[in-house]
Chain A
C-alpha cells in the first residue's frame, strides 16, 4: 500500500520543506499546493530546493486560498486529481497542511491504515443534529449565499447575512446531498476520492459550494457521505480550535503532551518550535506500536481548560486581564468567609474562642478583629501586614474597600476568613457584603450598645453616638434584608441573643463550619450591668433604641453568677 500526501502550503516554507522531506523519506508520493499569495520568487526558490525529490513530488496548479473561500476546495481538488493521475500506486490519500506535524512514524500510520481497509477517515457530522460550529452560522452556511469575505469585508458580510435572513432566502441543495461538516483534514481511499472527483453532477455541486461559507469544512465531508459507506468519522489529524474558532498553535512545551496523545499528525505547529520539529522529524523508525489508538482527547483537555479560563475566568479574582463589569454582579470574592456583627461585643474573648473551635473542627481559619475599623485593619494576631502584602493602614484600605476584601479572600484561598463588622466601621463595604454569595453573616443587632454604655464619655455624647450608630446599622440591616442580598444572613436582636446565647452562638458557628459543631463551653458574656438603665435613659432622652429588642434585664456578670452559685 502506498500513502499519497496532498499538502497545502501557504507560509513558513522552510518548515514545509522539512515536513515534505520527512514524508518523502518514508516513501510517500506528494502533491504540493503552494498558495498563490506566496511571492513568485519565494515559490521558485522553494520548488528549486525540492528539485531532488522530483521523482515522487509534483507541484499542483496554484490558487489564492483565502480563509473560508472556495479556492481552498478548488486547490485541494486539483491537487488530489493530480495525485490520482500521476501516482497509480497511491491507494490512500492524506490531506495535510504545511504546518501539520507528523507525530508518529509514517510506517505506523501506514500499518494503521492497512488494519482498516477501505475505510475513509473523515470527520463528518450532519449539520442538522450537531451544533458544534463556533461563531454563529451552522446550517445557514448551506442555505445562504456568501459572496463577501469574512476576513476583509466583515460589515458587508454581516449585512448581507442579515438581509438574506430578513428576506427569507433559502438556497436549495443539489439533489442527493446531505450537508455534513467536519475537520478540513482527511484521509480518503483512492476509490472514494476518485468517485468524488468524477461525480457526474460535479459541475452543479461545485457551483453550489462556491457560495457556501467555509466549504473546506463541508465539501469533501458531504461528498464522502455520498460516495462511501465506510466512513470512520474522525480525523487522523489532531487539530483543536479556540473559542473563536481559530486553530490552537503547538509549541515546544507541548512535546510531552503530543507524544502521549498517540495522534498521527497534529496541527498546527508554530514555525519557530525548533524542538518539536527536531523531535518528530527524525529519520523514520520502524513501527513500534502500530495499532496504538490515537487519543486526541488529551490535547483537547488542555486547550479546553484554557478556554474555560478565557471565558469564565477565576471567580473572585480581579486582575489586569479580568475586570468584570459591575452590572454582571459576579461574586466579589473567591471563597466563603464569615462576618460576625455584634457577636464579639456580646461575648468576651470571642475571637480566640472561635479560632480554637475552628481549629478543633479541622478547618484552617484566620479570625480577625474589625477589619474595617476606622483606626486600622485589625488583622489576626495584630499583624501590620497580611497575606499578599495587604497593609493595616486604614487609608490604604479605604482607598478601595472592595478591592481590599477581594484581595484578602483571594490571597488566603484555602483558609477560612472570619472578621467582625459593625456600625463603627467603614461602611463602604456594607452593600458588597450583603450582595456577596460567599458571605456568611451573623448579626446581633444593637450589640454595639454594650461597649458604648460603658464608654467614659458624658451622657450627651454617648446619646449622640448611639443615634449615629443606630442609623448606620439600620441602613445595613435594610441591605441585608433587601431582595438584592445574596449573603447567608442570620439576624438576632440583642434581646433575642441574650435569651439563649448558647443556641445563637452554636447556630452562627455551624453556619461557618457548614455542618454540626461540637458544643463547647461558652466564652464569657460581656459585662452588661447597667445596660437596661442606659437604654431607658436613652429613651427618656428621646433616642429610642430600636435594634436591641425589648431588653428589660441582662444576665448578671460572671463574677456575680459565681457568687450566687
Chain B
C-alpha cells in the first residue's frame, strides 16, 4: 500500500519534471499538435545520428509507421537538417543537456503526452530496430490492433545486441544501407533474467556487452529489458529510459504461470561504424547513465572481438522464436 503510494508520487514527480523540461524544446518542422492519422507513432531522441537515420526511418516506414516525433539534441552532422526535410517527421530541437533531461526521457515523456495520448507509441533510439512475431507479413498497425483487441496496453521487446564478424567490418557501412548486412551476429542464449519486485519489470542483462566488457562486474552490465510499444495514456510515464514504466502494470508484460506472452526484440545496431570513436566522445561528455560509465568500458577495451563460433547469424523473427528470445504468445 505504502509502496503503491510511493510509486504514485514518483510518477507525478516525473510528469511534472517532463512538463518543465518540455520548455527546452523548440519546434522545427511539422505540427505541434497530434497528427490526425491513427496508427503507430515513433518517438526518438538523437544526436549526431545522420549515419543511421535514413535507414531507421525507412525501416519503420516499411512497417507501416506514418508519423515520427523526433528531438534533435544539438546534432552537428547535418542529421537534424535532413530530418527536418522529411514530410512525416515532426522535429523538435534543443541544445539543453541530455543528462539533465534524464537521457532525454523527460523530453520523450512530454512529447508522448502531447502527441501520443490514446495511441500506440513506439519509443526507440535510432540504433533500435523493432522485430516482432510475423513482422515479415504483418505491419506494426496489425500488432497494435491485436494488442487492442486483447486488452493489452504494452508490448515488451528486449535489446538484442548485434555485432560484426570482424570489428573492422563496420567501417564499410554507408548511410542508408541495411546495417544488418554487417551487424548480422548475436548471442543466442546467454541472457540473465530477474524480476524487479518494485516496478515489477523483468530485468534482463547479458549478451555480448556483458561478456566482453562486464565479465568482472556483471551486475553493472547494461539492462536489456525494454517496453518500447505502449498505448499511451495521460497517466503513463517512462521511468528509466524505456526500461520501465509507471503505472507499473505496464511493465507486467510476462506470464508468471509458465505460459509465454507475445514479445519482440529491438535489434541493437549500437556497434555500427565509429562505435569506439563515439564511445570516447560520449565518455568525455559524461551525458549518459551513471556518468557514462558504460562508455568508459567500451573506450578502454575498444571493439572487442565479440564473434565466436557459436554466434548466431540473424535470419528473421522465426529464428528468434525458435531460440526462445521472442514469442508469438497467442497471436497466431
Residues of A participating in the B interface, judged by any CB pair closer than 8 Å: 242-244, 246, 248-249, 251-253, 270, 272-273, 302-303, 305-307, 309-315, 317-325, 328, 330, 385-391, 393, 395-396, 399-400, 403, 407, 410-411
Contacts and interface: CB of A to CB of B under 8 A. Distances in A.
B330 A310 contact: yes
Contacts of A410: 189, 324
B328 A306 contact: yes
B139 interface: yes
Contact of A388 (B146, B187, B193): B187
A395 B216 contact: yes
A321 B261 contact: yes
A323 B254 contact: yes
9 contacts: A251-B138, A272-B64, A311-B330, A312-B259, A320-B253, A321-B327, A322-B254, A322-B255, A386-B310
A243 B210 CA distance: 38
B311 interface: yes
B82 interface: no
Nearest to B194: A400
Classify the interface of chain A: helix, strand, loop or mixed.
Answer: mixed
B257 A306 contact: no
Contact of A272 (B142, B193, B195, B217): B142
A270 B156 CA distance: 22
Interface in B288-332: 308-311, 323-332
Nearest to B207: A389
B255 to A, nearest CB: 6
Classify the interface of chain B: helix, strand, loop or mixed.
Answer: loop
B261 A310 contact: yes
Contacts, number: 173
Contacts of B134: 251, 253
B255 A321 contact: yes
Across the A-B interface, give the 3 residue pairs with the lowest CB-CB distance, nearest first. Answer: A388-B189, A389-B187, A306-B332
Given A253-B137, A385-B308, A309 B330 contact: yes
A385 B187 CA distance: 11
Contacts of A319: 191, 193, 260, 263, 324-327
Contacts of A400: 192, 194
Given A306-B329, A389-B311, A322 B137 contact: no
B237 interface: no
A324 B311 contact: no
A253 B256 CA distance: 30
B198 interface: no
B231 to A, nearest CB: 17
Contacts of A386: 310
A251 B274 CA distance: 41
A314 B260 contact: yes
A313 B262 CA distance: 11
Candidate in A244, A312, A388, A410 with the most chain B CB atoms within 10 angstroms: A388
Contact of A306 (B187, B193, B330): B330
A270 B145 CA distance: 9
B320 to A, nearest CB: 10
Candidate in B257, B309, B324 with the most chain A CB atoms within 10 angstroms: B324
Given A253-B134, A321-B261, A396 B211 contact: yes
Nearest to B261: A321
B137 A249 contact: no
A270 B142 contact: yes
A249 B260 contact: no
Contacts of B204: 320
B327 A391 contact: no
Contacts of A317: 260, 324
Nearest to B224: A320
A104 to B, nearest CB: 22
Interface string B235-278: 00000000000000000011111111111000000000000000
B33 interface: no
Contacts of A243: 330
